[in-house]
Amino acid sequence: MLDDINTLDLQYMTDIPDQQFHQNRAHPLRLELFTDLYELTMAQALFSEGLTDKPATFSAHFRNLPSGRNFLLACGLDTILEHFENLSFSDDAVSYLDSTRLFTDSFLDWIKGFQFTCNVRAIAEGTPVFPDEPLLEVNGPIIEAQIVETFVLNQIHLQTILASKAARIVSAAGGHPVIDFGARRAHGIDAAVKAARAFTLAGISGTSNVLAGQIYDLPLIGTMAHSFVQAFPTEEDAFRSFIKQYPESTLLVDTYDTLEGVRCVVNIAKELGNQFKVKAIRLDSGNIVALAAAARKILDEAGLEKVQIIASGGLDEWMVSELVDKGAPVDGFGIGTRMIVSEDNPAAELVYKLTEFSGTGKLKTSLDKKTIPGSKQVWRSEEDSDVGDIIGRVNETHKGRPLLDVVMVEGKRLPESHVPLGLSHRYALKEISKLPKQIRNISVAKIPYPVVISDKLKEFQRKVLDEIQN
Amino acid sequence: MLDDINTLDLQYMTDIPDQQFHQNRAHPLRLELFTDLYELTMAQALFSEGLTDKPATFSAHFRNLPSGRNFLLACGLDTILEHFENLSFSDDAVSYLDSTRLFTDSFLDWIKGFQFTCNVRAIAEGTPVFPDEPLLEVNGPIIEAQIVETFVLNQIHLQTILASKAARIVSAAGGHPVIDFGARRAHGIDAAVKAARAFTLAGISGTSNVLAGQIYDLPLIGTMAHSFVQAFPTEEDAFRSFIKQYPESTLLVDTYDTLEGVRCVVNIAKELGNQFKVKAIRLDSGNIVALAAAARKILDEAGLEKVQIIASGGLDEWMVSELVDKGAPVDGFGIGTRMIVSEDNPAAELVYKLTEFSGTGKLKTSLDKKTIPGSKQVWRSEEDSDVGDIIGRVNETHKGRPLLDVVMVEGKRLPESHVPLGLSHRYALKEISKLPKQIRNISVAKIPYPVVISDKLKEFQRKVLDEIQN
């Protein structure tokens, strides 16, 4: 196949060399080159046309709700603003760009001095959002606002779909703690780390991911693996050894036979008497409804009413909801794969579109992908009788609370844009609680959350459309 | 919700603080703490029991094929070996571990001097693999072999599912180039970068991801965005400006009306005559079968037979296959979301299991999750009459080619474990081509690829099972 590449001869293609690839490190520290090539070649073309500083506005919004979602929970803004504030092109990056032979010396000189000077308005992390609502509007010199597209989309998309999925599982758990066990199945290290933060925003109670714990100061939680149990002559030996070190452990009881595992815990409790401080057992396989009931019975009969039961193993919001509905005596949920890859909907249509350039509204008319021009505001009404959002032009006035705030001015974050995660977390739970019940439910709402486009914005869209078509 | 955490009081839980979170940087450079907490607490418990250096063998293998896959394409080994060779615990990491109050001073002293000294046998990147086949066996002191579990699973899982998905799309494209446009929808930056490498292994021809291009020396490809077209008074102005800079461009023609966009290209060609060097147009929306045919006709009638057509926009292997089957005049495919999140199957059941400890075979008997003990080899027969794999004990002899090779001895990579990506890529395409046709197809094979467990291995599994149950 590789030999056939030249039959297409797409632009910018270089050969795949046979010599050793230099995988510098698992994680590059600098991210200025994390961008689609066209962001840079378009920048070069705009630069050559003298359009570098012409003002543009870009909007990041979801085109629609992924199937099975009643709302999305905005997340990722903090990562974006940090990136904007620190964005510059290192000598190493410029020299790589030079090596592609796609850029002029004067453009490379310009990019060496690159600084991000745009203004940013955004909806706060932890706010439920709906299609067409700008999570983020970037306004400033077109090259600067354009060049960050790939990064903005990558991080807002990832963090928002993960926070949105976690919110569903937290809702299904009906007050029981939900723990992130997903690091091993996340799509890479960045996703695993950002997931733990997004999940915390959405209401989970802790993560097993130590690196995320360090970076974001999150509660760390861990139990034990089957391999640990297997490394000892008997299950009881393994439990004894572990609680010698960690008396308040959660013991994994399903390596061999789950209920035998529970009986081992009971034996140890009898032996240790007052010294027995085990907090919980974990069930990781089999029919959790039946096993949790049987385990609870064994524990209670031995006077171990205080020992809790944690369920894990392939759980999602539907299974958690079933366990809760059936009254299974489960005290907490460890959730892995299905939350951390948002398995039923691992992607959503987040886009970053030019809506204004040089003072003129802009839109595309591509089939099924039409956009709404201009800078916008979203007003949210939360009164029962009148719940819903209005998307309007930025300078309109409507009832309800405006959701977009200025968070960055000329490339500098406003102090209030630094929101502690604990605050965002409480804000998110409050905002979710204000949504109509059927929107908070994990089932698809029969009536979607009401979002209307203001008359003035519709009129503006028509006007811009007319200008393009004439 | 957060206030309720203490009602469960899971072990190791710290409070979510309200003060500013220190998001040090988007990407930590050091990854020793990218692990589930229990890897470290189990290490502490084993250390206290004096079991630190007891030899163990762990196997990384898929429990089953994700639905809709006939094979998986092994990928990720290079990342894993690089991590193993460089794994150590920085002062910063040790001080964070200390702050959790979960570890003894003597354990923290020990981990300061941590070096990875295990032996590793593995199946080469680019090899099609099947359930129960160890992609990787790690043999050495139990703590060392256990502590890398999260990293091994995270990276092998990600890279293998992405390479496997790309192999399907490359196969569907029937020889036409496939390009990675997925950076914006990848789950984070690590996934985007590793994806570009995994896709290249599986046969794609280039990526738009500049950072991946720099790290792995990959062919970079880019076209233009709708926003560029919108930034000019007319579509033709935008095209003229872009090709002034990049004469051999691919022009995006669907910002307003696709066929009008194609006619703009024709106008410019007439105007430029011999100076017209545009390589391709890109269709990103609408009915690609119909639009490609109409665009081809317009181009051909203007004598622009050499201008190629690239299709993009929500494509997966089924849509690519349909375009190819219907004879749509598409010369190359730009693939985004559905490849980079492996949308139909974003996760697979990759596990890392203890199979031997202190010279004794180990397995778990959890319902539906039973494992096969001991160190293994896989033999592959590729003759038409006798195609298939045998999984046996490592010291057996069978017909066929053994797939697992020693790649690391006492923590040091063997020189032959450094395989250039170009070589792995050609090896992958050759190995895939040797699979039975129905396994290579994107439809689910009626008869799965034959994999049998050797009699000796079955006997060993029975023996270990008997020992556990008696």
Q: Do B368 and A285 touch (CB under 8 A)?
A: yes
* Region for B372 from its dihedrals, namely left if φ exceeds 0, alpha if ψ lies in -120 to 50, beta otherwise: beta
User: Is A303:A155 a contact under the CB 8 Å cutoff?
Assistant: no
Query: Which of B80, B155, B150, B160 has its CA nearest to residue B120?
Result: B80
| Range 157-176 of A in CB contact (< 8 A) with B | 157-158, 170, 175-176
Provide the CB-side half-sphere exposure for A186 (13 A, CA): 35
Q: Which residues of chain B have pLDDT under 70?
A: 1-29, 367-369, 470
* Burial of A12 per CB tally in 10 Å (0-12, 13-18, 19+): buried
Q: What is the pLDDT of residue A337?
A: 97
Minimal Cβ distance to A11: which of B29, B279, B368: B279
Minimal Cβ distance to B42: which of A158, A193, A225: A225
Compute how many other C-beta atoms are within 10 angstroms of the C-beta atom of residue B416: 10
* Region for B269 from its dihedrals, namely left if φ exceeds 0, alpha if ψ lies in -120 to 50, beta otherwise: alpha
Q: What is the pLDDT of residue B468?
A: 78
Most B CBs within 10 Å, among A11, A264, A335, to test the B interface? A11
Query: Which of B209, B225, B20 has its CA nearest to residue A353?
Result: B225
Residues of A in contact with B331 (CB under 8 A): 8
Q: What is the pLDDT of residue A323?
A: 97
User: Is A203:A126 a contact under the CB 8 Å cutoff?
Assistant: no
Residues of A in contact with B194 (CB under 8 A): 188
Query: Could you read off the pLDDT of B14-61 as tens digits, one per residue?
Result: 333 333 333 333 344 689 999 999 999 999 999 999 999 999 999 999
* Three-state SS annotation for chain A: CHHHHHHHCCCCCCCCCCCCCCCCCCCCCCCCCCCEHHHHHHHHHHHHCCCCCCEEEEEEEECCCCCCCCCEECCCHHHHHHHHHHCCCCHHHHHHHHHCCCCCHHHHHHHHCCCCCCEEEEECCCCEECCCCCCEEEEEEHHHHHHCHHHHHHHHHHHHHHHHHHHHHHHHCCCCCEEECCHHHCCHHHHHHHHHHHHHHHCCCEECEHHHHHHHCCCECCCCCHHHHHCCCCHHHHHHHHHHHCCCCEEECCCCCHHHHHHHHHHHHHHHHHHCCCCEEEECCCCHHHHHHHHHHHHHHCCCCCCEEEECCCCCHHHHHHHHHCCCCCCEEEECHHHHCCCCCCCCCEEEEEEEECCEECCCCCCCCCCCCCCEEEEEECCHHHCEEEEEECCCCCCCEECEEEEEECCEECHHHCCCHHHHHHHHHHHHHCCCHHHHCCCCCCCCCCEEECHHHHHHHHHHHHHHHC
Residue with token string 């201008």: B307
Minimal Cβ distance to B190: which of A191, A222, A226: A191
Q: What is the pLDDT of residue B368?
A: 66
d(CA A42, CA A35): 12
Which domains are assigned to chain B? Answer: 2-163+351-469 (3.20.140.10), 172-340 (3.20.20.70)
Find the residue in A nearest to B249 (Cα): A11
Residues with Cβ within 8 Å of residue A416, at least 6 apart in sequence = A405, A407
Q: Do B54 and A208 touch (CB under 8 A)?
A: no
Minimal Cβ distance to B224: which of A42, A190, A213: A42
* Region for B94 from its dihedrals, namely left if φ exceeds 0, alpha if ψ lies in -120 to 50, beta otherwise: alpha
* Burial of A465 per CB tally in 10 Å (0-12, 13-18, 19+): middle
Q: Do A42 and B225 touch (CB under 8 A)?
A: yes
Kind and range of the H or E run holding B35 = none
Minimal Cβ distance to B255: which of A175, A332, A366: A366
Provide the CB-side half-sphere exposure for B293 (13 A, CA): 8
d(CA A12, CA A240): 62
Query: Which of B447, B420, B369 has its CA nearest to residue B132?
Result: B369
d(CA B241, CA A107): 16
CA R_g for chain B: 26
Q: Do B279 and A189 touch (CB under 8 A)?
A: no
Q: Which residues of chain A have pLDDT under 50?
A: 1-28
Residue B282 in tokens: 């890109």
* Region for B203 from its dihedrals, namely left if φ exceeds 0, alpha if ψ lies in -120 to 50, beta otherwise: left
**Smallest CA–CA separation between A384 and chain B, in Å?**
23
Chain A and chain B share a number of CB contacts under 8 A equal to: 514
| Range 65-124 of B in CB contact (< 8 A) with A | 78-79, 82-83, 93, 96-97, 100, 102
Q: What is the pLDDT of residue A371?
A: 84
A155 reaches B (C-beta below 8 A): yes
Q: What is the pLDDT of residue A467?
A: 86
| Range 438-457 of A in CB contact (< 8 A) with B | none
**Smallest CA–CA separation between B399 and chain A, in Å?**
30
Query: Could you read off the pLDDT of B281-313 as tens digits, one per residue?
Result: 999 999 999 999 999 999 999 999 999 999 999
Find the residue in B nearest to A52 (Cα): B231
User: Quick one: DSSP state of residue B27?
Assistant: S
Q: How far is CA B290 from CA A18, A370, B260, B434, in A?
A: 40, 20, 15, 35
Return the biggest CA–CA distance within chain B. Answer: 87
Residues of A in contact with B100 (CB under 8 A): 213, 220
Minimal Cβ distance to B150: which of A183, A242, A338: A183
User: Is B15:A421 a contact under the CB 8 Å cutoff?
Assistant: no
Q: Do A187 and B341 touch (CB under 8 A)?
A: yes
Residue B403 in tokens: 């797939």
Q: What is the pLDDT of residue A368?
A: 66
Query: Which of B130, B103, B113, B117 has its CA nearest to residue B39?
Result: B103
Q: Do A421 and B16 touch (CB under 8 A)?
A: yes
Q: What is the pLDDT of residue B7?
A: 35
Residues with Cβ within 8 Å of residue B176, at least 6 apart in sequence = A8, B324, B330, B331, B332, B333
**Smallest CA–CA separation between B206 and chain A, in Å?**
7
For helices B188-202 and B149-172, angle between their N-to-C axes, nearest 10 degrees:
50
| Range 346-365 of B in CB contact (< 8 A) with A | 346-347, 350, 353-354, 357, 362-365
Residues of B in contact with A210 (CB under 8 A): 33-37, 40, 96-97
Dihedral angle of Cα A118, A124, A128, A132, to the nearest 10 degrees? -20
B286 reaches A (C-beta below 8 A): yes
